[in-house]
Amino acid sequence: MLTSVRVPESAEEARAALQDGALPLGGGTHLLARAADRADGDLRLVSLRKAGLGGIDVEGDAVTLGAATTLAEIEDDDRLGYLAGCVRSIASPPVRGLATVAGNLFVPQPYGDLAVALLALDAELDVLGADGARGESLERVIEGGLRPGDLVTRVRFTATDTFRFYKASRRRLNSASIVTVAARIAVRDGLVEDVRLALGGVARRVVRAAGAERVLRGAPLNAEVVARAADAADIDPFDDAYASAWYRARVFPVHLRRALLGA
């Protein structure tokens, strides 16, 4: 049961309010939809609406997104055009007008497509904790979580012109992921020079496909190599209302090929 909502006016006040189990509230598109299902216990929220955590800053190839920046703001920013396909694959325009960057990082799979993209882009998080500010890699946070009371304030990554994104879902728009693939991949003289590959929809959390990266790196980018990379990816698909684990595993190689080869 929802018992309180605090609306701090700074990041420091917001972090201090995240004590004794209080939860941060961004756009609320996931959290509030499920709050009605909680009939017991106290649900205390800390709204980030006035905490000064919005905004997009681009200096050269260095990109910084405020944790409370909405997906719609990313979609409308021409400087982030390489993320447009990812963002537009998420929910509907009204939801994107509320949903936030940090909220998308921690929403359960099969949601969280922006998190897949940001993992492929090797994003770093600015985190405000009890012992002050620190940096954390998104990859480590996805694997190990945050400390109690920690607050993500910003997400940083390097812009690239080698980014690829593909999402398979039951409907073209406004549907959760069956398989999501995001990659930062550089090809020179027909060979994969460097690659960073992230996956959604194929495990209970967003995963980095390090095994697939090893197969791809230094090899020609063709259907045979991509098929071997799919076999090397460490996935643990699950059943939900959108697809079975069997189906996700079955179609994953197809969607990896489409993401990397466009066919």
Token readout for 29 is 């598109």
The answer, yes or no, to whether the previous bond of 110 is cis (omega within 30 of 0) is yes
Amino acid at 161: D
In contact, 101 and 155? CB cutoff 8 Å: yes
- In this prediction, residue 19 carries a pLDDT of 82
Q: List pLDDT tens digits, range 220-251.
A: 999 999 999 999 999 999 999 999 999 999 99
Q: List pLDDT tens digits, range 33-86.
A: 777 666 566 788 999 999 999 999 999 999 999 999 999 999 999 999 999 999
Q: What percentage of the chain exceeds 90 in pLDDT?
A: 89
- In this prediction, residue 39 carries a pLDDT of 57
Q: List pLDDT tens digits, range 98-149.
A: 999 999 999 999 999 999 999 999 999 999 999 999 999 999 999 999 999 9
- In this prediction, residue 36 carries a pLDDT of 65
DSSP string covering 139-161, please?
HHHHHH-PPTT-EEEEEEEE--S
* Burial annotation 24-37 (CB, 10 A radius, 16+ → b, else e): bbbbbbbbeeeeee
Whole-model pTM: value is 0.95
> What's the rounded Cα separation, in Å, for the pair 254 and 231?
11
Q: Is 113 helix (H, G, I), strand (E, B) or coil?
A: helix
> What's the rounded Cα separation, in Å, for the pair 33 and 208?
29
Q: How many CB atoms lie within 10 A of CB 169?
A: 19
- In this prediction, residue 74 carries a pLDDT of 98
